[in-house]
Amino acid sequence: MTYKPAHIELRDITHAYQTEAGPLPVLDHLSIKMEEGSFTAVVGPSGCGKSTLTRLIAGLMRPDEGQVWLGGKMVTSPRPTVGMAFQNPVLLEWRTILRNVMLPLEIVGKRMSRTAQEDRARELLSLVGLEGFEDKRPSELSGGMRQRASLCRAIVHRPEVLILDEPFGALDAFTREDLWQTMARLRLEEKFTAVLITHDLRESVFLADNVVVLSGRPATSQFVLPNTLPTNRTLEDLYSQPATDMLAILRHQIQVAQGRAPADDAKATA
Ligand SMILES: Nc1ncnc2c1ncn2[C@@H]1O[C@H](COP(=O)(O)OP(=O)(O)O)[C@@H](O)[C@H]1O
Ligand SMILES: [Mg+2]
C-alpha cells in the first residue's frame, strides 16, 4: 500500500441536524480547499460544527447541500483510505499495542502478508518512540503513549487523508508539546493530507501550513491564515515575532467568530 495523499475540497456545504426541537443549522455554505500532502488546522468556537466537518470528509455523513471531493472523486460513502484519531484514543484493551496498530491493515491491507503488516506497525511504533512497548496492553501505557499508538493506528494503512479531531486536547501541556513534535516527525516520514481540529492556537501554528477559522454556528470559513514559519519548525519558533503576529490574528478571528469583536477592522481583512 502506498500513499496517494488526496486533494480535499469542500464545496459550498450546508448542513442541518434534524432534532426534536427542529432543524439545527450547523454548516452554512462552507468551502475549503486543501492541497495534496498539506496540513490544515481548523479552529472555531465550541459547537460550531468542526466534528461535523470531519464526519463529512470521512464520508460518514452526507451534507444536505454541497459536495466533498477527495482526490478528484466525490465522497458519497465512508472511505477506507481515511485515517482518524480522536481526543480519546479508543484502543482495544484485549489487544496488545502492536495488534491495535495493525487493526486497520487487517481490514483494508489484506494483500499484505502478516509479516509485512507487523513490520509496518513496528516501524511506526519505533518512529513515535514506542519501541519496546509493542507487547503491552493499552492500560499499561500513559495517556501520551496511548495517543502515540493511536496516531500510528490512524496512518498504518497509509491513508490518503488523516483526520485529527482534537487528539492532543486531553493531554497535559508538556506531553502535548512532545506529541506535536512526534506529529511533525510523522509528517516528514509519511505522506498524508492532514486535517487537524483543535482549539489550541499554538498547536495550529506549530503543525499546520494553513489555519482555517470557522465562524460561529452555522459555520462558514471565516478566515484562512497561511503559516509563515519555516517548514522545519521548533517549539522556539512559537516565540518568534511571526508566530506572535499569527497568534494575535487568530485570537482576534476567534473573538469575531464568537461575536465578541466586530469583523470589519483592519486585522479581519489582513
Ligand atoms: N448527531 C447530531 N444530532 C443533532 N445535533 C448534533 C449532532 N451532532 C452534533 N450536533 C450538534 O451540532 C453542533 C455542532 O456539533 P459538532 O460538529 O460536534 O461541533 P464542534 O466539534 O465544533 O464542537 C452542536 O451544537 C452539536 O450539539
Ligand atoms: Mg468536536
How many domains does the structure of the chain reveal? Answer: 2
Which protein residue's CA is at the shortest distance from atom 25 of ligand 1?
A: 47
Residues 165 and 256 in one domain: yes
User: Rounded distance, CA 26 to CA 111, Å?
Assistant: 40
Helix residue ranges, H only, 29-166: 50-57, 97-108, 114-127, 143-155
Looking from the CA of residue 49, the nearest atom of ligand 1 is 17
Residues 223 and 249 in one domain: yes
Q: Give residue 264's pLDDT.
A: 64
CA 215 to ligand 1 center in whole angstroms: 14
- Phi, psi for residue 68 in degrees, rounded to 5: -110, 130
Residues 59 and 144 in one domain: no
User: Rounded distance, CA 253 to CA 172, Å?
Assistant: 26
For residue 49, what are the domain limits? 1-81+160-183+192-270
Average pLDDT, the chain: 94
User: Rounded distance, CA 89 to CA 77, Å?
Assistant: 24
185, pLDDT greater than 90: yes
Which protein residue's CA is at the shortest distance from atom 2 of ligand 1?
A: 17
Which protein residue's CA is at the shortest distance from atom 7 of ligand 1?
A: 17
pLDDT tens for residues 154-178?
999 999 999 999 999 999 999 999 9
Cβ(26)–Cβ(16) under 8 Å?
A: yes
Provide the residues around ligand 2 (an ion) whose CB is within 5 A.
Answer: 50-51
Which protein residue's CA is at the shortest distance from atom 6 of ligand 1?
A: 17
pLDDT tens for residues 72-110?
999 999 988 899 999 998 999 999 999 999 999 998 877
* Mean pLDDT calculated for residue range 186-210: 96
The enclosing domain of 33 has a CATH number of 3.40.50.300
Q: Give residue 269's pLDDT.
A: 47
Q: Which one of the ligands is nearest to 55 CA? A: 1
**Coil vs helix vs strand at 253:** helix
Residues 262 and 222 in one domain: yes
